[in-house]
Amino acid sequence: MVLCQVTMLDGSQFTCEAEKRAKGQYLFFKVCEQLNLLEKDYFGLCFKDNADQKCWLDPLKEIKRQIRNGPWNFSFNVKFYPPDPSQLTEDITRYLLCLQLRQDIASGRLPCSFVTHALLGSYTLQAELGDHDPDEHRTDYTSDFQFAPNQTREMEEKVVELHKSHRGMTPAQADSQFLENAKKLSMFGVDLHHAKDSEGVDIMLGVCANGLLIYKDRLRINRFAWPKILKISYKRSNFYIKIRPGETEQFESTVGFKLPNHRAAKKLWKVCVEHHTFFRLMTPEQPTKAKFLTLGSKFRYSGRTQAQTRQASSLIDRPAPYFQRTSSKRISRSLDGAPVISVTSDGSGPLGEKENGRDPALELSSDSKDEDEMPGDGAAAATTAATLDSAEEDAEESEAILRKGFNAQDLDKTQDDVLKHQASISELKRSFMEATPEPRPSQWDKRLTASPVTSLRLQAQGKSPPRMETFLPESKDVAKSADNKQKSEAVAVATTATQPVVEIEETVIVEEVRKTPKPATSAIPEVHAAPTTEPQAAAVAAKEASASSDSESEEEAEYHPQITSVSVEQIKEEPEEEEQEEAELNKQQHQPEPSPLPQPIAETDPEPEPAPAPSQPVIEDGTPDTKEDAQPPMEVVEDDGIVEEEMMVTPEEAPNGYSAAEGQGLGSLEEEDQEPRVNGDALHVDTDHLPQVICCSEPPVVKTEMVTISDTFAAQKTEIATKEVPIVHTETKTITYEAAQLDGSGDGEPGVLMTAQTITSESLCTTTTTHITKTLKGGLSETRIEKRIVITGDSDIDHDQALAQAIKEAKEQHPDMSVTRVVVHKETELAEDED
Amino acid sequence: MAGLMAGFGNFTHAVVRAVPTSLAKEALRTNKLDVDLLKAQREHELYVEVLKHKLGLEVIELPADESMPDCVFVEDAAVVCGDTALITRPGAESRRKETEAMKKVLSDLNLNIVEMTDESATLDGGDVLFTGREFFVGLSKRTNQRGAEILADVFLQDYAVSTVPVTDGLHLKSFCSMAGPGLIAIGSSEHAQKALKIMQQMSDHRYDKLTVPDDIAANCIYMNLPSKGHVLLHCTPEEFPESVKVFEKLKDHMLIPVSNMEKAKVDGALTCCSVLINKKTDV
């Protein structure tokens, strides 16, 4: 056991013990329990890293791994500043937010004018001291409070003056007033990060509920609302956002910023991912199973979103909990004048408080209301495959039972019973509060198990197996490619759709860039500590269940915020979903729920792609239907698959309670289902198709990201396009293996391009470019998906495994398509790439 | 105990300055138009009349200075928000001296005076749009980045300060202004619309827009006075008949057409001719 010290918002210290291997959430829940806080999703624990930088404690990771050798000292802080604090359910939550803001203001982090300092200060006094009392409140009574970074006598006088005017205001009302004013401050809830723009000018990047703000000095020079941002990524110390094209622009642009170091870039990226998820999405992005490669930071926000936490808190039905204000030791009153638990200020020591904290009065909801009131959960559980929802359902069930028990019990039970009962209630309360954010499997996943595609994909895969045996361990530094081509059974699938014949083809290009070993980053030990024994880079290929490459050691990662419409839709649709009854929910298994189905990222990427370039585009892009109709099923697969890939979360990072049950469950299901098949495939290929070398040419080019670094006046000036080409000496070898069988797709008559889209996704060590083209050639509809995956690793990559995994995942993603070409291109970096 | 950002448009005082005779010949202008001095003076008198008698503001009238042909356009010399006044450094060198009298009168009103001393900074008040929630600063021929930064240093504490490029026209407010709380009057020209887009993008707040056919007509003066409610001073039907029709749709506003024909010839808009101040007599 280790002793943890947590500095609370009121400055007090909370000490508790935690097991050495305890996860962040253990401690966090302990703290919330101590505080009697239910709306905890806005908060988090911070610690200082080696560089004395404040970091958020990841609830899903072991504390020890995060703080490393540092002391087990933490501080409890607001992580997500609710833009509208009046929507918080409980006064205690608002109180804690006030405490945080007072800190922010006093430290100067939240700047405000003299007048605002005075006004906010006066509400603080009213909340803490009550009405101004001329006898008690002499001139210096304000000196215990810090209202501003540099508080003057004049300001204190002004504060007192205003304090007098608040007569009659309850502490809770004063807090509310404080928040109503503080929330309007322009820097409220803005998390600032130092950076430089493309010209090396110092700027600040501010992450807030609405998006990303760019400041130069104190001027806001640009703002990117979340809906404008298509992608957030970082690479080494660079941070990039890809901007949705405006009405008049044709292409999206990428704006790059230089952060002081890699760690800062990653930190900023994480903050963005979290804020976007928390404030924009209905539910956090869920871990997915079928993905192409699992390299890169799989970091995703794992907690509840604001929408979820609001929903959960709407179920809070307890008398306003008693809590002690820092200085006044007065009893808080709730806004609505709910009866106050009468504890005299003298008797309300920590003990009394704690007992009060366990007040059994907590009743989450009545049994009868349960079904109706937790529709979100219900829906989630119901639409989930039966195996998945057990964890949560159990929780709910036990909760219901406990509650019944409680209701039945009488007040005349022994004190002991009461205490025990309180303990269970608080346990139950916790499980309830934790239960909600269960990541729902994507609709596609659900459909996959039910739709006919699944069965077909088995057949399809049996026939077009890539040859994996060719990738021998010693060939590591040699690039090669294999190619297999085959018409797949998917044709049959597609014929059920409207098109006469659909020929589906998938091209997988796996490019690997291998660097010479780099100086080990501090995170490497973590990698080893992870359940997987594979070195970080090799983890690319690791099955998702074990894909635990530690995010700390990641060089880059990316995040595609869900397209606005989707998230908006999600939020809008949710209530409907909630109202749906069981019966309907069953139906939903076969019908894609509109909400979690991500729309395809339809981009017209200027990036040139070596893709079949059919003549003229006829249709830009068909928005995929959320219903299964005339669309060939694989379209959904593609879209979904791609998004999934970007939204994956490792099971490890999923919350404990249910992840194990769900994420792992999924993973194992998957494996049972598919693993053997892949192996079988490989063998099959080996005998069937001996690949032959076709070409061995590829210029020694380091695959680099081409970014348009527009300066931060993006809206104002024309962009300055730059290519960032790191000088890296490389050795390159490319061998392309192609299968003997060639289909006529690439040649002859030019088809009519129906849709073409290129999706680039980057993560720490991989860059995946997916190029999807649909062409119509004389009644034949052909979909070609080309994936280019660049794996960057600084340790030996198990190429065989990486490739095998890539192919496997490609097939899982597009079960009704066949892999026709695999090109492996390998580069070994000779020069060390400094970070 | 008015909260932050309460009372947008509530003014008690106005600072104006008389029209010098030198305006007709020497005032800076983007178009070579002849100004009828007498007409301009009469216009200005009417303008002051409206502020003083119709609206009941306490009007402080500075005497004209013949050495400063543009001095009637007091708005450019200072930005006042709450109790703080930023004395600007106008972009046109010939106008720098205009700030002296302004500084004096504002300090006499007990405002906290901040001066823009940085020699690399320029800022005209005509480029500063305060929406009640935040500032937009036009980067124009007269206002540069540094000037905007200094304004941000002064006012950012409570308000966001964003920059907007002014590609055409003299000032940001040459084609826009506030016509109500959260309501931006905007001209129809391409650059005006573009600037509005940028402002909307940069803002966390949502603004309604009131599009008027004529850019300069989009410059109006909004006030919210305790005794009068929503008040809007705008162009006259003689000048911009089509734009007036748009203003007339604002049913809740007390609409006061104010002629500005002559001053407009030297790029003076309605807002240019006064600095409005809210000097609360109470706390």
Three-state SS letters, chain B = CCCCCCCCCCCCEEEEECCCCHHHHHCCCCCCCCCCHHHHHHHHHHHHHHHHHHCCCEEEEECCCCCCCCCCCHHHHEEEECCEEEECCCCCHHHCCHHHHHHHHHHHCCCEEEECCCCCCCCCHHHEEECCCEEEEEECCCCCHHHHHHHHHHHCCCCEEEEEECCCCCCHHHCEEEEECCEEEEECCHHHHHHHHHHHHHCCCCCEEEEECCCHHHCCEEEEECCCEEEEEECCCCCCHHHHHHHCCCCCCEEEECCCHHHHCCCCCCHHHCEEECCCCCC
Class of residue A743 by CB neighbours under 10 A (exposed 0-12, middle 13-18, buried 19+): middle
Give the mean pLDDT of B141-157.
88
pLDDT greater than 50 at residue A709: no
pLDDT in tens, A789-813: 666 554 555 566 666 776 677 667 7
Q: Beta partners for B209?
A: B184
Q: What's the CA gap between B63 and B266, in Å, rounded?
A: 19
Q: In the numeric block, which tokens belong to residue A15?
A: 């000490």
Q: What's the CA gap between A287 and A621, in Å, rounded?
A: 27
Give the mean pLDDT of A623-647.
32
- CB atoms < 10 A from the CB of A690, how many? 13
- Name every chain B residue with its beta carbon within 8 A of the beta carbon of A185: 4, 157-158
Measured between CA atoms, how close is A222 to chain B, in angstroms? 6
A181 inside 8 A of chain B by CB: yes
Closest CA to B273 of B100, B62, B7, B58: B62
Candidate from A184, A217, A715 with C-beta closest to B149: A217
Work out the pLDDT band at A701, boundaries 50, 70, 90.
very low
- Name every chain A residue with its beta carbon within 8 A of the beta carbon of B154: none
Q: What's the CA gap between B90 and A777, in Å, rounded?
A: 66
Q: What's the CA gap between A283 and A286, in Å, rounded?
A: 8
Give the mean pLDDT of A132-161.
82
pLDDT greater than 80 at residue A47: yes
Phi, psi of A395 (to 5 degrees): -60, -45
Q: What share of chain A in percent tops pLDDT 90?
A: 18
Lowest-pLDDT range of A777-781, B97-101, B265-269: A777-781
A119 inside 8 A of chain B by CB: yes
Q: What's the CA gap between B150 and B156, in Å, rounded?
A: 10
Q: Beta partners for B225?
A: B229
Of residues A95 and A832, more confidence is placed in A95
- How confident is the model at residue A781, as a pLDDT? 65
Work out the pLDDT band at A327, boundaries 50, 70, 90.
low
pLDDT in tens, B197-207: 999 988 988 89
Q: Which of A86, A220, A222, A279 has the most B C-beta neighbours within 10 Å, making it the best mutation to test the interface with B? A: A220
Phi, psi of A208 (to 5 degrees): -145, -175
Work out the pLDDT band at A174, boundaries 50, 70, 90.
very high
Candidate from A184, A187, A217 with C-beta closest to B5: A184
Work out the pLDDT band at A705, boundaries 50, 70, 90.
very low
Nearest residue in chain B measured CA to CA from A123: B1
Which residue type, as a one-letter code, is found at position A43?
Answer: F
Averaged confidence pLDDT in chain A: 59
Give the mean pLDDT of A255-268.
92
Q: Beta partners for A211?
A: A208, A225
A518 inside 8 A of chain B by CB: no
- Rounded to a whole number of angstroms, the CA Rg of chain B reads 17
Q: What share of chain A in percent tops pLDDT 70?
A: 38
Phi, psi of A508 (to 5 degrees): -115, 125
pLDDT greater than 70 at residue A397: no
Which residue type, as a one-letter code, is found at position A746?
Answer: G
Of residues A422 and A282, more confidence is placed in A282
Structural element, H or E, at residue A18:
strand A13-18
pLDDT in tens, B3-34: 444 578 999 999 999 999 998 888 888 887 88
Q: What's the CA gap between A63 and A135, in Å, rounded?
A: 50
- How confident is the model at residue A271, as a pLDDT? 92
Q: In the numeric block, which tokens belong to residue B91?
A: 């972009």
Give the mean pLDDT of A435-443.
38
Measured between CA atoms, how close is B225 to chain A, in angstroms? 22
Give the mean pLDDT of A657-678.
37
Lowest-pLDDT range of A291-295, A397-401, A761-765, B225-229: A397-401
pLDDT greater than 50 at residue A718: no
pLDDT greater than 90 at residue A788: no
Are the beta carbons of A715 and B158 separated by less than 8 Å?
no
**Chain A / chain B CB contacts < 8 angstroms:** 95
Measured between CA atoms, how close is A211 to chain B, in angstroms? 9
Q: How far is CA A19 from the centre of its chain?
A: 27
Chain position carrying tokens 């889209």: A757
The residues of B assigned a catalytic role are: 171, 272
Lowest-pLDDT range of A508-517, A768-777, B215-224: A508-517
Q: What share of chain B in percent tops pLDDT 90?
A: 76
Ranked by mean pLDDT, which of A538-547, A656-665, A671-680, B153-162 comes out on top?
B153-162
Phi, psi of A148 (to 5 degrees): -150, 160
Q: In the numeric block, which tokens belong to residue A8?
A: 């609370």
Candidate from B82, B112, B152 with C-beta closest to A219: B152
pLDDT greater than 60 at residue A190: yes
- Name every chain B residue with its beta carbon within 8 A of the beta carbon of A220: 152, 160-163, 202
Please list, in sequence order, all residues whose beta carbon lies within 8 angstroms of the beta carbon of residue A600, skipping any fewer than 6 positions away.
A621, A623, A624, A638, A639, A642, A643, A757
- How confident is the model at residue B283, as a pLDDT? 37
pLDDT greater than 90 at residue A102: yes
Are the beta carbons of A177 and B3 separated by less than 8 Å?
yes
Of residues A141 and A486, more confidence is placed in A141
Are the beta carbons of B161 and A210 separated by less than 8 Å?
no
pLDDT greater than 90 at residue A443: no
- How confident is the model at residue A249, as a pLDDT? 76
Per the CB < 8 A criterion, the answer to whether A7 and A73 are in contact is yes
pLDDT greater than 70 at residue B265: yes
Lowest-pLDDT range of A156-170, A563-577, A734-748: A563-577
Q: What's the CA gap between A251 and A247, in Å, rounded?
A: 10
- How confident is the model at residue A251, as a pLDDT? 83
- How confident is the model at residue A751, as a pLDDT? 52
Q: What's the CA gap between A375 and A798, in Å, rounded?
A: 46
Of residues A554 and A677, more confidence is placed in A554
Work out the pLDDT band at A373, boundaries 50, 70, 90.
very low
- How confident is the model at residue B168, as a pLDDT? 86
Q: What's the CA gap between A44 and A81, in Å, rounded?
A: 11
